[in-house]
Amino acid sequence: MLDNYLHILIFILVASLISIAPPILGSLLGPRRAYAEKDSPYECGFAAFENARMQFDVRYYLVAILFIVFDLEIAFLFPWAIVVKELGMAGFMAMFVFLGILVVGFIYEWKKGALEWE
């Protein structure tokens, strides 16, 4: 079975070669004449107001966690979609109940306004 994945292994090798080689070539071949003024951060006009690592709003977290929940739901759908013909009505109802429970959550987040970006 693993023979089917040989293409992906070759792809990984080529991709890592392409992504690793240019920085190494650049650092080996490129001229490097650093001095203090060149290494100092460039700031246009005025002094920086605050740290660049500013805190994110907590709303991004909500979006990410809702995304994870529905991503997992999709992960459950893949094996079901392959075997649904063999499973017949029982398998169909199993997924129906599964999606029904999650639709309750979906309606909840819709009505709560969690999908709105205020």
The residue ranges that bind other proteins (CB under 8 A) are 1-5, 9, 12, 53, 55-62, 64-69, 71-76, 78-80, 82-83, 86-87, 90-91, 94-95, 97-99, 101-102, 104-106, 108-109, 112-114, 118
How many helices (H) and strands (E) the chain has is answered by: 3, 0
Cα separation, 12 vs 19, in Å, equals 10
Cα separation, 87 vs 67, in Å, equals 29
For other proteins, the closer of residues 3 and 37 by Cβ is 3
For the CB of residue 49, give the shortest distance to other proteins in the complex, in Å: 16
For other proteins, the closer of residues 14 and 59 by Cβ is 59
CB 95 within 8 A of CB 75: no
Task: Please tell me whether residue 57 adopts helix, strand or coil conformation.
Answer: coil
For the CB of residue 107, give the shortest distance to other proteins in the complex, in Å: 10
